[in-house]
Structure 1
Amino acid sequence: RWEREGKLYRLDGTIEPTKFKDATLSVDELESLRSAATAVRRGRVSCIEDDGTLTFEDGTSLVLPWDDSDDGAIAYVHCSAGAFNYSKKDPSSKPEPVFRGGKITMQDVYGTPGFCFMGSVIARLETIPDLTDDERNALSLFPGCDDSPPSDSAAASRPPSSPLGPSSGWIGALDSSHGYVQRLANVIGWYENAELGPWLVGHRLFNMGG
């Protein structure tokens, strides 16, 4: 029904998908994806070798039809991975900041409306040349695990993790490390930035874009 109403899309209407990954795209973008001349359907990719060869979970491999001898000339984009797997985090470790010395680590800087919007904001922050990594990270706050060290007295009252493991969805007293507080701080900072604020207005993926 949702597909008939244009709320959900399939790349190939003859194939029944096994998962929904919360992708966001327009009809024009969907048609562009459908125009790809080659589609490889061998299941999940387990790794990409240094020379670009794709290795699949069933042990088979595929040599891609282009030369990657020029190191760094080709980017491989994993579009189906879960972006934030809190259950596999080490509670004793400090999460990676979004920006650090030329490296970008995707983090949950806003939550809903989802990964595509957050990715666009992080990419836009990267393109503002007069910001340092520290300044970009101050605009990219994100929640850690429940078991991460408390940031203040309110966080210290949190109960231990549930038997299901760490979660970013703690519901309790608000403090500076709470996802909702961080989300609000990020939005305020984004709108106050001379380049980022106007860019957000009318952003088609932003639920507060106006």
Structure 2
Amino acid sequence: MNTSTIETDYLVIGAGGSAMAFVDTLLDESDAQVLIVDRHAQPGGHWNDAYPFVRLHQPSAFYGVNSRQLGSGHKDRSEWGGGLYELASGAEVLSYFDQVMQQRFLPSGRVRYLPMCNYEGDRRDRHCVTSQLTGDSWQVKVRRKLVDGTWAQTAVPSTHPPKYRVAPGLRCIPPNELPKLREPSARYVVVGGGKTGIDACLWLLQTGVVAERIQWIVPNDFWLLDRANFQPGQENVVRTIGSLARQFGAIGAAESVADLFLRLESAGELLRIDRSVEPTAFRAATISQGELRALQGIGNLVRLGRVQAIEPERIVLDRGSVDAHPDALYIDCSASAIPVISEGSVQVFDGNRINLVTVSSYQLLFSAAVIAYVESHFDDLAQMNDFCRVVPLPLSPLDWLRMWAVYLSNQRRWKQDAGLSNWLARCHLHLLPTVLRSLQENDPEKLAVLNDFTQARQQALENLPRLLQAAGCAQQA
């Protein structure tokens, strides 16, 4: 085994989407040298492990790195696509990140990339990298900072086995294995009600499995976002800004969290699969109206909590059990996806370490780009963390409210700095400026909805503290 030393300004752990977005902006905003270390053979993080039919849940235009747009800008005219802008496939996302690495990062001469390597340091002062293939190790001397791109490491079923017990002889597979099936099953049991469960159900339906042969175990019903409400393109300016205005209007008028979500549903901002069941979870999953109708055709939904065990004759859940079909194929979609980061548990700028966590609503990659800009242009850690307060990703309706409270607070601080404001206005990963670029002064309809948005946001800011206090939460500064 060989051991040597590498020197770099920034050591980035991980080559997933957040890390790529951070390095991309860092290259534009600084003169730094970067070393990227990742255990996969190619950039893309969890996309390397995801099921082959996975797609983005947001339009491709709002994902990726700031220097290069993802996708071709075409619209999905399929039965379930609704004419909405494209959602990049997993293969397209991997190809995109590989192009960013090969055509931008490496040719810059400022990025060194070590795939198939493990980071083995203490994430503080001692940094060591070891090749998975050769066993060679490198001590790394970091002149500026370590960048931890593993906070948002998305859990996928292929890398995280089920937490429930499966009796010997029963077939339980991750969704990765679905396209490899060669024999039919009388029943397909999808375990998990989140984004992966939705994708698995839609894939089964799209490939010809009738809804009657699908059993869907949904531990918690989810509020879903209507994908049509946040679309790029000049033709969508009114609807996209109007959607934000309606969300803020609901926050400004709501008397409680429960009242807020009913208002959001009435305004067409949120959807649910079954109108008779009030959702208790919110994970920012998006859906088209066509996909919603397809899912509503699945009548065999099991709502008895999480699976505890799958036995030959029954499925044991938190709140009871149901009979098991003798010829069932179980599809495990229960991985918890992005880990929960509690408020106050981590700072973005922590001494000589940078943690790539969310500082905006939903968007991990945009957050990483913002963090890179702040790192490149500011020196005072207190001020930097004030710009980048951690926005908790939502798991529940109350979390959705907390998310907006912190994100709006961050936005107010961003506006106070001219350089950061100007950069945000040019960042294509930032939804609102991207939509507003097509706004014309002589377009009264668009100007009217922008005025509604401005007023609604102010009302939301005024009512947010009261809603949070009523829900027993500390007010966000």
Residue 61 and residue 128 in structure 1: after superposition, are their counterparts in 2 closer, same or farther (change >3 A)? same
TM-score when normalising by structure 2 = 0.27
Residue 76 and residue 192 in structure 1: after superposition, are their counterparts in 2 closer, same or farther (change >3 A)? closer
d(CA) in 2 for partners of 1:77, 1:128: 16
Could you tell me which amino acid in structure 2 is paired with residue 109 of structure 1?
V
d(CA) in 2 for partners of 1:95, 1:142: 9
Deviating more after overlay: 22-31 vs 183-192 = 22-31
User: RMSD between aligned alpha carbons?
Assistant: 4.3
Residue 69 and residue 97 in structure 1: after superposition, are their counterparts in 2 closer, same or farther (change >3 A)? closer
Query: Secondary structure in 1 aligned to 2:142?
Result: coil
Q: Which residue of 2 aligns with 1:54?
A: 131
TM-score when normalising by structure 1 = 0.54
Alpha-carbon deviations, 1:30-59, whole Å to 9, x = none? Answer: 5354578xx9997xx66547552133xxxx
Q: Which residue of 1 aligns with 2:339?
A: 85
Q: Which residue of 1 aligns with 2:361?
A: 111
Q: Which residue of 2 aligns with 1:72?
A: 142
Given that residues 97 and 137 in structure 1 are in contact (C-alpha distance below 8 angstroms), is that contact kept between their aligned partners in structure 2?
yes
d(CA) in 2 for partners of 1:40, 1:174: 37
Could you tell me which amino acid in structure 1 is paired with residue 371 of structure 2?
I
Which structure has more RCO (C-alpha within 8 Å, separation ≥ 6)? 2
- In the TM superposition, what is the alpha-carbon distance from 1:105 to its structure 2 partner? 1.8
d(CA) in 1 for partners of 2:357, 2:423: 21
Given that residues 142 and 182 in structure 1 are in contact (C-alpha distance below 8 angstroms), is that contact kept between their aligned partners in structure 2?
yes
5+ residue gaps, structure 1, are 1-10, 145-166
- In the TM superposition, what is the alpha-carbon distance from 1:193 to its structure 2 partner? 1.1
Given that residues 143 and 168 in structure 1 are in contact (C-alpha distance below 8 angstroms), is that contact kept between their aligned partners in structure 2?
no
Q: Which residue of 1 aligns with 2:428?
A: 204
- In the TM superposition, what is the alpha-carbon distance from 1:117 to its structure 2 partner? 1.2
Give the structure with the higher percent strand: 2
Q: Which residue of 2 aligns with 1:123?
A: 372
Matched, 1:98 2:324: no
Given that residues 348 and 357 in structure 2 are in contact (C-alpha distance below 8 angstroms), is that contact kept between their aligned partners in structure 1?
yes
Q: Which residue of 1 aligns with 2:385?
A: 137
Residue 82 and residue 111 in structure 1: after superposition, are their counterparts in 2 closer, same or farther (change >3 A)? farther
Q: Which residue of 2 aligns with 1:191?
A: 415
d(CA) in 2 for partners of 1:21, 1:82: 17
- In the TM superposition, what is the alpha-carbon distance from 1:101 to its structure 2 partner? 2.3
Alpha-carbon deviations, 1:174-208, whole Å to 9, x = none? Answer: 87xx1111111112211221210111112111112
d(CA) in 2 for partners of 1:174, 1:63: 46
d(CA) in 2 for partners of 1:171, 1:206: 23
Given that residues 54 and 63 in structure 1 are in contact (C-alpha distance below 8 angstroms), is that contact kept between their aligned partners in structure 2?
yes
How many positions carry a matched residue from both structures?
A: 156
5+ residue gaps, structure 2, are 1-41, 57-62, 71-95, 107-112, 122-126, 155-337, 438-477
d(CA) in 2 for partners of 1:174, 1:51: 39
Alpha-carbon deviations, 1:91-111, whole Å to 9, x = none? Answer: 7x9412112323222221103
Given that residues 191 and 200 in structure 1 are in contact (C-alpha distance below 8 angstroms), is that contact kept between their aligned partners in structure 2?
no
Given that residues 109 and 186 in structure 1 are in contact (C-alpha distance below 8 angstroms), is that contact kept between their aligned partners in structure 2?
yes
Residue 96 and residue 41 in structure 1: after superposition, are their counterparts in 2 closer, same or farther (change >3 A)? closer
- In the TM superposition, what is the alpha-carbon distance from 1:118 to its structure 2 partner? 0.7
% identity of equivalent residues: 14
Give the structure with the higher percent helix: 2
